[in-house]
Chain A
Amino acid sequence: MTTQALEVKNASAGAASPGIRLTEPVAKLIDTSTCIGCKACEVACQEWNDLPAETTVNLGTYQTLPQMTPHFWNLIRFIEVEMNGQLHWLMRKDQCMHCSDPGCLKACPAPGAIVQYQNGIVDFQQENCIGCGYCIAGCPFNVPKLSGQTRKIYKCTLCVDRVSVGLEPACIKACPTNCLSFGTKDALLLKAQKRVDQLKSSGFEAAGIYDPQGVGGTGVVTVLAYADRPEAYGLPANPTIPMSVVLWKQPLKWIGNLAILGGIVGAFLHYLRYGPKHVPEGEKSKQAAGGGPA
């Protein structure tokens, strides 16, 4: 997507150049207690991002699709659940959470395929994506989706092209009840807390903010009337980056590097001991005939 006017803080498989501009982290606030599940955000997302309509079937729910797809980055989840002796029809906008410590970025082996801008937006750069799917394993929220058509991965960009020119994301603009808002993360946390206090005074004692610290906090802050039960909304209670990704990127990475180093040293010692390799004549002509590596 557009990288103009934004400085990259982190990038996959390599260090980003440090920026000098003061950029505050941005965020989106989703107040699930005032969401009416109208799906205006779903269509606004598709229209702004020029995504084609999906072919869907009715699965016995108001939910458009079971999960997000490469063409559908913003999905309202509809959940019927009985809590405190009352029926609730929970509606939550599901999308990329734009983690401060993004598991996708950590897991990605392709240089520059996933970047994190100074303002916190985590964005996929499809031109660098190799379609390996490691980011899918690295995401605790089951967000990135692999396109069978292009073999690239897609997800919400937080409308980085709009944000970089001073506009709010398309979903925010479309929301009729103002249950979505956009701004700096600090401001939105204050706003979220105000709403939580209101909910508490209306009898929702467990109301709270979902901003999980296991991924360093998220760029999507969610107000829940039952913050003690995020699973009821389809959110993991304590999301963290999967251990495999953490190990691979930290201790295991050094083991890997050590192995590579060992290989190089071994090859050099081998050369010193045995000299250059002599290939028999027959083998040489096979290669020349276009055999290539197996």
Chain B
Amino acid sequence: MTNGWTDIQNADVILAMGGNPAENHPVGFRFVMEAKRNRGAKLVSVDPRFNRTSAVADSFTQIRAGTDIAFLAGLINYCFTHNRIQEEYVRLFTNATFIVHPQYEFKDDAGVFSGWDEATRKYDKSTWNYDIGPDGFAKVDPAMQDPRCVFQMMKHFYARYTPEMVSNICGCSVESFNRAADIITSTYPPDRVGTIMYALGWTHHSFSVQLIHAAAMLQLLLGNIGCAGGGLNALRGHSNIQGGTDCGMAYHNLPGYIAIPKQDQPDLKSFYATLLPKPLRPGVMNFTQNYDRFFVSQMKAYYGLNATNDNEFGYSWHPRLPNGAAPGTYENWSWAYIFDHMSNGMMEGLFSFGMNPVNNGPHSRKAIGALKKLKYLVVAENFETETASFWKPEIIALDEEGTSTADVRTEVFLLPASNFAEKDGSFVNSARWFAWKYKALDPPGDAKTDQEIIARIFLKVRDLYAKEGGKSPEPIRSLNWWYTNPFQPSLDEVAREINGWALGEVKDEKDPKTVVLKAGDQLGKFLDARADGTTLSGNWLYIGSYAAAGNLAQRRVNADPSGMKRFENWGYNWPANRRIMYNRCSADAKGQPWDPKRPVIRWNGEKWVGDVPDYKPDSPPEAGMGAFIMLPEGVARLFVPGQFAEGPFSEFYEPTESPVANVLHPRTSANPGVKPFKGKWDLLGKPDEFPIVATTYRLTEHFHYWTKNNAYSVQLQPEFFVEISEELAREKDLQSGDMVRITSARGSIQGKAMITKRIKPMQVAGKTVHQIGFPIHWGFLGRGKQTGGMANIVTPTIVDPNSFAPEYKGFLVKLEKV
């Protein structure tokens, strides 16, 4: 979230799209209701189904699963055609004024951007850039009139997305689109603010990153980013998924979103060359230039005294991402790729903690076939899972025909682990609030906490390296395992380490005679970190969370002195306890709030006051530092230079499996940036055999594959079901409660038919298209009547080329009565 849950109360308009917050975030959804009750806010729901959120919305529009970019592009076009743009905001805070590279273009009929090579199906992205002047800075036109400026290019690019085009792609009526567009874009005046709440309905596509990009563009045009009640808010799907992502869960990032070193970066210098960008406009902060401080401090956290200036702080011990087969590429170890590598016999072992890959990855059959190739599998869980039991006859039978338990050679260890209530620690919520939690009860039997399991494995491995040497002992033997109880590191100590402390005297950078921190002092702010090895910090984002005042995640002060729902003394809000990111955008060129009734920060003549400014605290507004301090442009990117796989603007591509060809450019129907896997499992279906669009989702009554072990949750939603429109039910002669079979190119599952008015057939590209949906929560194991269709048996292995999220939503199936 750029903003936060409590801030949603400040919104005038709330767009719930690509998410179903009433279903999946019912507790946070309270703040939507408060906005409705207290401000008369309007809630707009756009979804493939009329869902729980739609039930309390002021407007609902049904769209075909996977067509969200077309809908958002239609809204962008609506802003341009109806002059619903907060122009001064756009000029000040976005790259709308920037001139693009002279050779950049989009070929309308082909559906590709400049640099596309049809033969190799690859992009040369060099033209996806700005026109750089002789001074090294990007050229700009503050009047935004130059036909090559981003504003004009964007206006032209999105002019194709008329309401009629949106209707033809998405399957909604023109009237329904216009009704929704009128409410959503009504927030363009400075004193009106709208927010967007999205979740996996946007991220589970083969164009998910571009989808979020389109939404960000819309919010920037409307002047909604950085303001109270605004922003672009990702609702995270688990209680601590935000904390996990922050702390380096994804393979390509280190903790704090620092890009992982690569194989062809043999030393710190070559690593820094790509890590630290040059500014693209004069006077910008370009905060990323400080990443050397944060990287070295992280290396000190890993290797302690063993990380020295002479050994480049242990850089050579740190894992580096291997080069890929093609030059200039690197290996991919994201989720779907891990299972592809495993399937190809590239892996010997897997540790699976708090995950159930057989159920939650795409294409369960591929996952089961892959696990079979492992030498060993270690699962730490508080329940038996399908993954730990993949070798059981009924599950292994999903592998190829004839595979039985006797064919499995994998050694499987199921370690009993405590659950979230059986250990202390922290959760970081969607709003980036770092909150401490306390153990409610002891884990049962031999169950141990995750940190104890990891610590005991680590200490044994380290002993083995000490005794037997081994291939590469330094990274293990040099690790800084300083915890008071090495077998069960206290999470309070880990939290202190994540924040970090001074290892020696830290001096003021401008005045080296002044000592800022003594050895042992906790770091208080980002720039306390040093690149010379005098500080240690596990994750720079959390610097300040455990400073001199102690563990601020434990704060529970529910006072709101500003009345703006900030609650600044509740927990700790990274970065720097800032509640609203990009909050410089909440104020005009003079530093005064666009909406005086909803101030976030303001310039008082000397400094910025209000929320913790996302800006240099004493930089006057007229200095024009740029509101997006992390970017070398200093402004938000409507046009994104060279970063994404499929283009600098967000274009609508059909899902990989689609009932129709892309009406804009049938030659390039699906995302050209996608690289499909090519194994025997990676099958795709065609609409003549699989004519129905399917989407998957979660239910409020269940949490993933976990609550199928809880009798109370099971009673609330006892059986796997498929939501089917009344029209399709008539065609298939179905009644509610009948058993139906869903089949995709990958497999088939059965469930109860739920005939509903909440899904309707659509007219798409001149063709009637039916859509069905089903939830994910069932499987093979559970302490109750909870066996049933496992949704991911039918989902494809296609992933987004930027985020590598699988396309769990918007794929093709056929439906039969059993």
On whether the beta carbons of B55 and A91 are closer than 8 Å, the reply is yes
Asked whether A17 is an interface residue with its Cβ less than 8 Å from the other chain, the reply is no
Q: Is the CB of B26 within 8 A of A176?
A: yes
CB of A39 within 8 Å of the partner chain: yes
Rounded to whole angstroms, the CA-CA distance of A56 and B717 in the bound complex is 8
Instruction: Out of B23, B715, B736, B758, name the residue touching A54 (CB < 8 Å).
Output: B715
Residue B207 at the A interface, CB < 8 A? no
A25 vs B757: C-alpha distance in the bound complex, in angstroms? 41
Counting residue pairs across A and B whose Cβ atoms lie within 8 Å, the total is: 102
Within 8 Å by CB of A38, from B60, B700, B785, lies B700
How many Å lie between the Cα of A64 and that of B54 in the bound state? 20
Q: Across the interface, do A33 and B756 meet the contact criterion of CB distance under 8 Å?
A: no
A195 to chain B, nearest CB (A): 7
Contact A37 B52 (CB under 8 A): yes
**Shortest distance in angstroms between A20's beta carbon and chain B's nearest beta carbon?**
39
Most chain-B Cβ atoms within 10 A of its Cβ — which of A33, A62, A91, A202?
A62
* Residues A178 and B30 in contact, CB atoms below 8 Å apart: yes
Verify if A84 is at the interface (C-beta below 8 Å from B).
no
Contacts of B755 in A (CB 8 A): 60
A43 at the interface (CB under 8 A from B): yes
Q: Given contacts A82-B757, A89-B54, is CB(A59)–CB(B736) below 8 Å?
A: yes
Asked whether, in the complex, the Cβ of B712 is within 8 Å of the Cβ of A58, the reply is no
The reply to whether A46 and B54 contact each other, CB–CB distance below 8 Å, is no
Q: Are A89 and B55 in contact (CB under 8 A)?
A: yes
A40 touches B26 (CB 8 A): yes
The yes or no answer to B754 lying at the interface (CB within 8 A) is yes
The stretch that binds A, out of B33-41, B70-78, B196-204, is B33-41
CB-defined contacts of B700 to chain A, threshold 8 Å: 36-39
B721 within 8 A of A: yes
C-alpha gap A236/B799 in the complex (Å): 52
Complex: A88 Cα to B50 Cα, angstroms: 9
Q: A186-222: contact bitstring with B at CB < 8 Å (1 yes, 0 no)?
A: 0000000001001001100000000000000000000
The answer for the CA separation of A61 and B30 in the assembled complex, in Å, is 24
A95: min CB distance to chain B, Å:
16
The answer to whether A177 touches B33 (Cβ under 8 A) is: yes
B758 touches A34 (CB 8 A): no
A280 to B718, CA, bound (A): 67
Considering the chains assembled together, what is the distance between the CA atoms of A36 and B58 in angstroms? 14
B714 within 8 A of A: yes
Q: Closest CB-CB distance, B576 to chain A, in whole Å?
A: 30
Question: Distance (Å) between the CB of B678 and the closest chain A CB?
Answer: 39
| Shortest distance between the CB of A118 and any CB in chain B (Å) | 32
Chain B residue at minimal CB-CB distance from A36: B22
Q: What 0/1 readout, one digit per residue, does chain A (19-44) give for beta carbons within 8 Å of chain B?
A: 00000000000000111111110110
Cβ contact within 8 Å between A60 and B715: no
Check B711–A53 contact: CB distance below 8 A. Answer: yes
CA distance A33 to B713 in the complex (A): 25
A80 lies within 8 A of chain B by Cβ: yes
Is residue A179 within 8 Å, beta carbon to beta carbon, of the partner chain?
yes
B585 vs chain A, min Cβ distance (A)? 30
Residue of chain A at shortest CB distance from B719: A58
Question: How many angstroms between the C-alpha atoms of A59 and B752 in the bound complex?
Answer: 8
Q: Is the CB of A58 within 8 A of B716?
A: no
Give the complex CA separation of A60 and B721 in angstroms.
8
| A38 with B22: CB separation less than 8 A | yes
Contact yes or no, A202 B40, CB < 8 A: yes
B692: interface (CB < 8 Å) = no
Is B27 interfacial (CB 8 A cutoff)? yes
A5 lies within 8 A of chain B by Cβ: no
Bound together, the chains give a CA A37 to CA B716 distance in angstroms of 11
Residue among A82, A87, A178 with the highest chain B CB neighbour number at 10 A: A87
Q: A250 to B72: give the CA distance in the assembly, Å.
A: 67
Contact of A89 among B50, B717, B736, B785 (CB under 8 A): B50
**Contact, CB under 8 Å: B716 / A60:** no
A294 within 8 A of B: no
The answer on a CB contact under 8 Å between A59 and B33 is no
Interface flag for A55 (CB, 8 Å): yes
- B695-741: which residues lie under 8 A (CB-CB) from chain A? 700-701, 711-719, 721, 735-737
Q: Which residue of A lies closest to B711 (CB)?
A: A53
A53 touching B715, Cβ below 8 Å = yes
- Known interface pairs A82-B757, A89-B758; A177-B30 also in contact (CB < 8 Å): yes
Task: State the CA gap A109–B747 with chains docked (Å).
Answer: 61
Q: How far is the CA of A198 from the CA of B758 in the complex (A)?
A: 26
Complex Cα–Cα for A54 and B714 (A): 9
Please report the C-alpha to C-alpha distance between residue A80 and residue B54 in the assembled complex, in whole angstroms. Answer: 12
Is A34 in contact with B58, judged by CB distance below 8 angstroms? no
Are the C-beta atoms of B737 and A34 separated by less than 8 Å?
no
- A203 to chain B: closest residue by CB: B58
**Quick check: is A243 within 8 A (CB to CB) of the other chain?**
no
A279 at the B interface (CB under 8 A): no
| A176 in contact with B29 given A34-B36, A53-B715 (CB within 8 Å) | yes
- Chain A: minimal CB distance from B422 (Å): 19
Residue B813 interfacial (CB < 8 Å): no
Residue of B nearest to A179 (CB): B33
Question: Given A36-B22, A36-B26, A60-B752, do A42 and B757 touch, yes or no (CB 8 Å)?
Answer: no
Q: Is A57 an interface residue (CB 8 A)?
A: yes
Chain B residues whose C-beta falls within 8 Å of the C-beta of A55 in the assembled complex: 715, 718, 785
Chain A residues within 8 Å of B27, by CB: 176
Quick one: closest B residue to A37, CB to CB? Answer: B52
Partner pick for B714 among A53, A60, A195, CB 8 A cutoff: A53
Q: How far is the CB of B150 from chain A (nearest CB, A)?
A: 38
- Provide the bound-state CA to CA distance between A55 and B37, in Å: 37
Q: Does B56 contact A (CB under 8 A)?
A: yes
B753 within 8 A of A: yes
Once the chains bind, are A36 and B50 in contact (CB under 8 Å)?
no
- Residue from A43, A46, A176, A177 with most neighbouring chain B CB atoms (10 Å): A177
Q: Are the CB atoms of B56 and A34 closer together than 8 Å?
A: yes
* A53 surroundings in chain B (CB, below 8 A): 711-712, 714-715
When chains A and B are docked, how far (Å) is the Cα of A82 from the Cα of B714?
Answer: 30
Residues B701 and A39 in contact, CB atoms below 8 Å apart: yes
As a 0/1 sequence over residues 410 to 439 of chain B, the CB contacts with chain A under 8 angstroms (1 = contact) are: 000000000000000000000000000000
* A window 142-167: CB within 8 A of B: none
Query: Chain A contacts of B30 at CB under 8 A?
Result: 176-178
A58 touches B737 (CB 8 A): yes
- Check if B712 sits within 8 Å of A46, measured CB to CB: yes
Using Cβ atoms and an 8 Å threshold, which residues of chain B touch A46? 712
Given A38-B22, A46-B712, A53-B714, does the pair A58, B721 have CB atoms closer than 8 Å? yes
Contact A38 B40 (CB under 8 A): no
Cα distance A4–B667 in the bound complex, in angstroms: 78
Give the distance to chain B from A88, nearest Cβ to Cβ, in Å: 7
For residue A58, which residue of chain B has the nearest CB? Answer: B719
Minimum Cβ distance to chain B for residue A179 (Å): 7
| Residue of A whose beta carbon sits closest to that of B755 | A60
Contacting residue for B716 out of A64, A91, A176, CB 8 A? A64
Contacts of A89 in B (CB 8 A): 50, 52, 54-55, 758
Residues B26 and A56 in contact, CB atoms below 8 Å apart: no
Inter-chain contacts of B58 with A (CB < 8 A): 202
Nearest Cβ distance between residue A238 and chain B, in whole angstroms?
27
Question: Which of chain A's residues has its CB closest to B726's CB?
Answer: A80
A43→B719 contact, CB < 8 A: no
CB nearest to B42 among chain A residues: A202
Determine which of A39, A58, A80, A90 lies in contact with B756 in the assembled complex, contact meaning CB atoms within 8 Å.
A80
Contact A36 B752 (CB under 8 A): no
Partner of B26, one of A38, A42, A57, A64: A38
Q: How far is the CB of B24 from chain A (nearest CB, A)?
A: 10
A-B contact pairs, 15 of them (CB 8 A): A35-B56, A36-B23, A36-B29, A36-B56, A38-B52, A38-B700, A46-B712, A55-B718, A58-B718, A60-B721, A61-B754, A64-B715, A177-B33, A179-B33, A198-B40
Top 6 A-B residue pairs of the complex, sorted by shortest distance between their CB atoms: A60-B736, A58-B719, A53-B711, A36-B22, A89-B55, A38-B26
A53-B714, A55-B718 given; 18 more Cβ-contact pairs under 8 Å: A34-B56, A35-B56, A36-B29, A37-B700, A39-B716, A47-B712, A53-B715, A57-B719, A59-B736, A60-B753, A61-B736, A61-B754, A87-B758, A89-B50, A176-B26, A176-B30, A177-B33, A195-B37
